[in-house]
Amino acid sequence: MYSNETYLLEQLQESGLLTERDIQQAKAGLKPGESIIELLIKTGTVSDEQIAQMVAVSSGMEYVDLHGFEPHAGLKALISLEVALKYKIAPLGTNQNSLQIVVADPYDFETLDALPHVLQPDIEYYCSTPSLIKTLQANIYGNEAVMGVPKAKNMDGTVTDEDAPIIKLVTNMLMEAFKNKASDIHVEPLEKDIRIRYRMDGVLVDVEHHPKRLHSAIIGRLKIMTGTMQLDEKRIPQDGRIQMSYNEKEIDMRVSIIPTNNGESVVMRVLDKSSLKLGLVDLGFLSDDQAAFEQLITLPDGIILVTGPTGSGKTTTLYACLNFINRPDRKIITVEDPVEYELAGINQVMVKEDVGMTFAAALRAMLRQAPNIIMLGEIRDLETASIAIQASLTGHLVFSTLHTNDAPSAVARLSDIGVKPFLTASAVRAIEAQRLVRKLCADCKSPTSLSDRELRALGLEASQVLGATINGPNGCSKCRQGGYRGRMSLVEIFKVDDEVRSMINQQLTTPQLRKRARELGMRTLREDGIRKVLAGMTTAEEVIEATMADAD
């Protein structure tokens, strides 16, 4: 809501409008992604007018009470609706050669710097509340300011004047998601309205609601943006992609639409290409694990498996591995379903089962291309596993994924598929399992201690955490008051050496294999998580939740 919440809270305390207890009570009731200022207004602790007046005084702007302000017809010509909505401003009039405008956030310096270039150099700024500015926008621009439904939707995708508000609404929704580093955008029709949610750091956050009457127009606009979806088809699922630019960055989104009882529901996965450049340390590997894994992924042959449930970052880890070993003297080919990111210098093949291009068929054809390194999106069946193993045994380095709870379980999973133990022992060089946990916000994390419950859950004694750097979430504008920003991996690296090969050939059970692997030095997911808790990188709660299956 306001750009400098921390400063505003200090000012509100100094002015006597808030007490420290008010702030602490509000923080205790915060939901992920919620602003503490918004919550204080919602609970009636302070009013938006009190805050706006205090902000005006502290910033040197004049507060203007817009109650009863009667806009004249000429105001609409001073600022376009697009600019007014984008920058959350409204025109008040002119004074000689100056343009008078009202803003909600005097500390939004990015907006204040941009407006003289967008409008004109001479601007007089006034301050008021966000709600009063919205009301003024509606009074000046009419229904367009509240995103009215377009009267007609051209099925050929051309844009009419009536379409413009919906175009702006949808574009703003996508841009805000990318700006907030959301991984998914959910557009969900409910019984009486439309709910927009972003998935940020693995957590779904309710960001806004729109009238149900806008549903068809929003879905229609998204279908047009994909360029491939049928506008008049609402009975079956559809898939597509949207590509656009934001701050000179390319945004790529994978779009899935499915019919529900309340209308078509949309999920868009935001594919952030900046993640392609991440190294293992950026993903959360501590220095010793990073060194060990980098040594493994530079082996000349064999299979390297990355395991974990859906959404645990397996694909990102595979891409980080390929980036690390990608050199001009190596030929790398991938088989993916689908190809999510385009990797420079790497040949990528997309699975198309409807025309017979299965994982196995693509992998078989790839071997005739004389690659050094192969990345296989997933080992799904015996045919694919057999070809991958054969490739690894004939001098190729193969990367792939499996869905298992931990690293040693991958051996049993391959056996379930039908792979003989001696082939697994011969081909597999290492298995890495991982989970994602939220990282504490670097700007606001603060020292704390582990509770007795957390110590018991992690299997620690109080003496074991003496001198550790334990931090907890606090909340600031950088992390949307949530206390967390970004995610990192918990990793478990299972090296297949001669002793482990012998264990696999003896067909030891997974618990036996796991026990022996730990005796040989393998750290579990939970143990890696504990290291990161004690280093102040994440919280015990995050690690406990992510490693429930690793409680032993």
Q: Give one DSSP letter per residue of 148-161, joined into a string.
A: PPPS---TT----G
pLDDT at 154 > cutoff 50: no
Q: Read off the pLDDT band of 145 (50, 70, 90).
A: low
pLDDT at 148 > cutoff 50: no
Compute the average pLDDT of residues 451-475. Answer: 92
| Among the ranges given (44-48, 94-98, 150-154, 384-388), the one the predictor scored with the smallest mean pLDDT | 150-154
Q: Is the whole model's pTM more than 0.85, yes or no?
A: no
**Residues present in the chain in total:** 552
| Other residues' Cβ atoms within 10 Å of the Cβ of residue 159 | 13
- Alpha helix segments (H runs only) across 75-118: 81-87, 109-118
Give residue 153's pLDDT: 35
213-231 pLDDT, tens per residue?
A: 888 889 988 988 888 888 7
Phi, psi of 283 (to 5 degrees): -80, -15
pLDDT at 157 > cutoff 50: no
Hey, is 31 helix, strand or coil?
A: coil
Give residue 161's pLDDT: 42
Selection from 247, 252, 128 nearest residue 183 by Cα = 252
CA distances from 430 to 188, 292, 439, 505 (A): 41, 10, 27, 16
Provide the strand spans (E) within 278-331. Answer: 302-307
> How many contiguous H segments (helices) and E segments (strands) does the chain have?
21, 19
Give residue 277's pLDDT: 66
Compute the average pLDDT of residues 335-345. Answer: 81
| C-beta of residue 460 within 8 angstroms of C-beta of residue 450 | yes
Mean pLDDT taken over the chain = 86
Give residue 503's pLDDT: 92
Q: Read off the pLDDT band of 28 (50, 70, 90).
A: confident
| C-beta of residue 144 within 8 angstroms of C-beta of residue 76 | no
Report the share of the chain in percent with pLDDT over 90.
47
397-447 pLDDT, tens per residue?
A: 999 999 998 999 999 999 999 999 999 999 999 999 999 999 999 999 999
The contacts of residue 95 (CB under 8 Å, 6+ apart) are 124
pLDDT at 151 > cutoff 60: no
| C-beta of residue 439 within 8 angstroms of C-beta of residue 542 | no
Q: What percent helix, strand, coil does the chain show, rounded to 5?
A: 45, 25, 35
Contacts 24+ apart (CB under 8 A), 191-200: 191/262, 194/218, 198/33, 200/32, 200/33, 200/480
| C-beta of residue 33 within 8 angstroms of C-beta of residue 205 | yes
Give residue 158's pLDDT: 40
44-57 pLDDT, tens per residue?
A: 787 878 888 887 88
pLDDT at 463 > cutoff 60: yes
Selection from 417, 412, 352, 355 nearest residue 383 by Cα = 417
Give residue 391's pLDDT: 93
Give residue 1's pLDDT: 55
Give residue 144's pLDDT: 62
248-270 pLDDT, tens per residue?
A: 777 789 999 999 999 999 999 99
Q: Given the structure tokens 């918990």, which residue do they identify?
A: 490
Token representation of residue 394: 């004939």
CA–CA gap between residue 88 and residue 102 (Å, rounded): 9
Q: Read off the pLDDT band of 12 (50, 70, 90).
A: confident
CA–CA gap between residue 465 and residue 449 (Å, rounded): 9
Give residue 344's pLDDT: 81
Chain centroid offset of residue 500 CA: 37
| Among the ranges given (145-159, 208-222, 489-503), the one the predictor scored with the smallest mean pLDDT | 145-159
Give residue 164's pLDDT: 60
Compute the average pLDDT of residues 514-538. Answer: 93
* DSSP summary character for residue 409: H
Q: Read off the pLDDT band of 385 (50, 70, 90).
A: very high
Give residue 7's pLDDT: 67
